[in-house]
């Protein structure tokens, strides 16, 4: 008798399924007939018809009282040059769109935002009218406005551009045009909030979620409620997006500022998050500490990541190379530092301004926030030469902040593995110096052949690494950017891999920089370094020599080993088999598709010395003993894991 109610529960569940099936059939029929109505079949704004969208604009990226100062600034000779560059960008993008075989809503919306910026800078209404014409074409796009599960990154980019255009151009538009864009803006932010499409990574840590909530929050903050007698229908979107964005940033940025998915994904993510935080700050008041609310750990992010960037020219008018950790590229994006001028504490602004100018940022945020009256200061004077993130297990060692020949070394153990972008980069290092990347990773791929690391054998081109995490055992900074780090673990199946990475910028060496890589393992057999194909590699009996196009040399010598060594080199496609979003290795106006992998055979353990020397100078003399290695007059003690109780014994 105790089980008698069970059939009743079955009947209820069957009834529910029947109702659900009927509902789905009705929905499929009605939606199929209504999908030509620009999302009206999904999101009805009929109650807003005949009502006027009114509000104070601009209020997203800037406030109304800032407009006169910006337009006055544009009258100066220096800014007139920038204005001409922006107009040329507009012309180039317009020509590109016209040459396309099919309509690209993302590019059209981007053009509208660019024209909106030109309206802000010049005050000429003609730019606002052109921006409106672009949006009217975007509103006819079937991908964005008839498909609520369209690719989320594209939809979010269109939403951001629409919101910027609406906010900037509102004062110049007729009321009926304001109302039209305001309606479409609501529909787009609602569908972006609801779904990022089939391809999305819905993990909280993923940059997809930062793009999602950042775009929605920014758009919702500039949207105007046409019904002032009722609560704004955008408020629930603001509340939800704010909470979700806080949750995302808590996972995406570690306590000491490093991004869980690495630098490139941080820059992309913040191209959506940054505008949202600025708009939120504008809403609360210019002095509102928005980073404290949304992501207090992000206060360390610019020091953590910008300290590893070097202003090496990559394309015409574009500078910037960074370490390619995770499954990231070498190139950097634009706008991160300029937004920092608006968002970050005053104490950091002089260093941020220095890096902004050093990297030559020229985004719209530079125009809006670089007022020219902020004094910059070399980040070296503000303790930016080194950085440690003990969550990621990452150390930055930098020699200076002067120019494209600056030297940066980075060591990473990938101590935390996430449900987002993560490459096979446990216990690896990167080196940028002398105007070129010297030791690089594999680019935008999970394949391991392009990694600089220790392997059990020569890796095949299609071989992948594992998802193991490493461990940062020890580290120390020793002044002027020098120091060392000790890590354990492997993405390559190397058992009991222990690696010490030492960086010395001391003048006593007689070289620009000295790097010592000491490896201990059970089954490590191939020590591999990847360098861009434009660097010339010569194999030697005790190591190899890299000669850069800039005249620098990196002499690599294997210590305590029999000669000659049977070294080998091979060409590896940068980015593996990735085709989409794989720019290759950008340098001096060209894109290079391959790296050169240099393999040194070892028997478990190895000590490899790398000495970077400036053009026209001889490599210093190297003498090694069982306990130390001397480079010039600089002595570096060799690591003995048996004497270190905190390390894994080989």
Residue 253 lies in a domain: yes
DSSP 245-307: HHHHHHHHB-TTS-BTT-HHHHHHHHHHHHHHHHHHHHHH-TT--HHHHH-GGGGGHHHHHHT
Residue 134 lies in a domain: yes
Residue carrying structure tokens 């054998």: 457
Last residue of a domain, one of 285, 306, 327: 306
Together in a domain, 187 and 206: yes
The three-state secondary structure class of 609 is strand
Query: Out of 28-32, 434-438, 517-521, 536-540, which region has the weakest mean confidence (pLDDT)?
Result: 28-32
Torsion 92-96-97-98 (CA) sign: positive
Angle between the N-to-C axes of helices 105-122 and 125-138, in degrees from 0 to 180, rounded to the nearest 10:
160
pLDDT on residue 146: 81
Could you report the per-residue pLDDT of 92-135, keeping only the tens digit for each?
999 999 999 999 999 999 999 999 999 999 999 999 999 999 99
* pLDDT band, residue 20 (cuts 50/70/90): very low
Residue 348 lies in a domain: no
Together in a domain, 29 and 158: no
Mean pLDDT (the chain) is 92
Together in a domain, 154 and 108: yes
Residue 621 maps to which CATH number?
2.70.98.70
Q: What is the DSSP letter of 8?
A: H
Q: Which comes out higher in pLDDT, residue 49 or 504?
A: 504
* Percent of the chain's residues with pLDDT above 90: 84
pLDDT on residue 648: 41
How many domains, the chain?
3
* pLDDT band, residue 581 (cuts 50/70/90): confident
Whether pLDDT at 283 is above 70: yes
Residue 457 lies in a domain: yes
Whether pLDDT at 47 is above 90: no
Residue 544 lies in a domain: yes
Residue 28 lies in a domain: yes
* pLDDT band, residue 143 (cuts 50/70/90): confident
Together in a domain, 240 and 127: yes
As a whole number of angstroms, the distance between CA 609 and CA 620 comes to: 12
Rg of the chain, C-alpha, whole Å: 28
Together in a domain, 420 and 444: yes
Whether pLDDT at 7 is above 50: no
pTM (two decimals): 0.92
Together in a domain, 419 and 445: yes
* pLDDT band, residue 229 (cuts 50/70/90): confident
Together in a domain, 23 and 91: no
pLDDT on residue 645: 55
Last residue of a domain, one of 306, 334, 349: 306
As a whole number of angstroms, the distance between CA 240 and CA 566 comes to: 60
Whether pLDDT at 524 is above 60: yes
Together in a domain, 19 and 46: no
Query: Out of 44-48, 208-212, 228-232, which region has the weakest mean confidence (pLDDT)?
Result: 44-48
Residue 369 lies in a domain: no
How large is the average pLDDT for residues 298-308?
97
How large is the average pLDDT for residues 41-55?
78
Could you report the per-residue pLDDT of 631-648, keeping only the tens digit for each?
999 999 999 988 765 544
Together in a domain, 27 and 136: no
Name every residue whose Cβ is closer than 8 Å to that of residue 353 and which is 6 or more positions away in sequence: 341, 370, 374, 375, 376, 377
Q: Which comes out higher in pLDDT, residue 44 or 435?
A: 435
Together in a domain, 633 and 568: yes
Together in a domain, 499 and 451: yes
Could you report the per-residue pLDDT of 340-388, keeping only the tens digit for each?
999 999 999 999 999 999 999 999 999 999 987 899 999 999 999 999 9
Could you report the per-residue pLDDT of 161-207, keeping only the tens digit for each?
999 999 999 999 999 999 999 999 999 999 999 999 999 999 999 99
Last residue of a domain, one of 252, 280, 306: 306
pLDDT on residue 371: 82
Together in a domain, 564 and 583: yes
Residue 352 lies in a domain: no
- Tell me the residue range of the domain where 233 lies: 40-306
As a whole number of angstroms, the distance between CA 178 and CA 589 comes to: 42
Whether pLDDT at 16 is above 80: no
Whether pLDDT at 516 is above 50: yes
């Amino acid at each position: 008798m105790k089980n008698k109610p069970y059939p009743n529960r079955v009947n209820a569940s069957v009834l529910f399924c029947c109702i659900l099936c009927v509902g789905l059939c009705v929905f499929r029929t009605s939606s199929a007939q209504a999908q030509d109505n620009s999302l009206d079949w999904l999101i009805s704004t009929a109650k807003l018809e005949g009502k006027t969208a009114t509000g104070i604009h601009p209020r997203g990226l800037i406030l109304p009282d800032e407009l006169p100062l910006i337009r006055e600034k544009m009258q100066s000779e220096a800014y007139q040059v920038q204005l001409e560059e922006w107009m040329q960008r507009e012309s180039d993008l317009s020509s590109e769109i016209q040459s396309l075989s099919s309509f690209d809503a993302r590019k059209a919306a981007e053009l509208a935002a660019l024209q909106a910026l030109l309206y802000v800078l010049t005050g000429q209404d003609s730019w606002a009218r052109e921006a409106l014409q672009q949006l009217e074409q975007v509103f006819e796009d079937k991908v964005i406005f008839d498909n609520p599960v369209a690719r989320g990154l594209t939809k979010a980019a269109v939403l951001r551009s629409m919101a910027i255009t609406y906010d900037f151009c509102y004062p110049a538009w007729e009321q009926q045009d304001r109302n039209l864009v305001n309606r479409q803006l609501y529909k787009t932010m609602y569908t972006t909030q609801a779904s990022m499409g089939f391809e999305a990574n819905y993990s909280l840590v993923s940059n997809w979620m930062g793009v999602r909530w950042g775009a929605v929050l920014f758009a919702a903050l500039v949207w105007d409620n046409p019904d002032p007698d009722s609560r704004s229908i955008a408020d629930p979107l603001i509340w939800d997006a704010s909470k979700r964005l806080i949750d995302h940033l808590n996972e995406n940025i570690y306590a000491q500022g490093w991004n869980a998915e690495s630098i490139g994904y941080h820059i992309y993510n913040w191209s959506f998050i940054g505008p949202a935080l600025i708009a939120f700050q504008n809403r609360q008041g210019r002095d509102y500490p928005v980073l404290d609310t949304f992501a207090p750990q992000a206060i360390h992010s610019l020091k953590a990541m910008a300290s590893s960037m070097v202003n090496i020219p990559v394309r015409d008018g574009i500078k910037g190379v960074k370490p390619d950790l995770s499954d990231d590229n070498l190139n950097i994006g634009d706008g991160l530092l300029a937004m920092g001028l608006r968002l970050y504490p005053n104490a950091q602004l002089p260093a941020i301004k220095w890096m902004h100018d050093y990297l030559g940022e020229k985004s719209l945020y530079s125009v809006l926030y670089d007022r020219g009256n902020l004094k910059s200061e070399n980040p070296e004077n503000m303790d930016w030469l080194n950085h440690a993130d003990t969550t990621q297990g990452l150390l930055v060692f930098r020699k200076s902040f002067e120019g494209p020949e600056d030297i940066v070394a980075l060591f990473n153990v990938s101590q935390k593995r996430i449900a987002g972008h993560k490459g096979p980069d446990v216990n690896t290092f990167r080196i940028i110096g002398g105007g070129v990347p010297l030791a690089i990773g594999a680019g935008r791929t999970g394949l391991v052949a392009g990694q600089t690391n220790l392997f059990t054998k020569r890796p095949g081109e299609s071989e992948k690494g594992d998802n193991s995490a490493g461990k940062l055992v020890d580290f120390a900074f020793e002044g002027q950017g020098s120091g060392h780090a000790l890590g354990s673990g492997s993405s390559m199946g190397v058992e009991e891999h222990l690696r010490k990475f030492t960086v010395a910028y001391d003048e006593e060496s007689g070289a620009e920089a000295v790097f010592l890589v000491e490896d201990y393992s059970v089954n490590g057999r191939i020590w591999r370094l990847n360098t861009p194909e434009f660097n010339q590699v010569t194999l030697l009996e005790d190591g190899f020599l890299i000669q850069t196009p800039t005249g620098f040399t990196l002499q690599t010598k294997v210590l305590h080993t029999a000669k000659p060594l049977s070294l080998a080199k091979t060409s590896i496609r940068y980015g593996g088999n990735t085709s989409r979003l794989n720019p290759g290795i950008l340098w001096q106006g060209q894109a290079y598709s391959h790296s050169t992998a240099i393999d040194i055979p070892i028997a478990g353990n190895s000590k490899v010395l790398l000495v970077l020397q400036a053009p026209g100078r001889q490599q210093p003399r190297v003498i090694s003993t069982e306990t130390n290695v001397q480079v010039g007059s600089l002595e570096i003690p060799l690591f003995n894991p048996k004497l270190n109780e905190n390390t894994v014994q080989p």
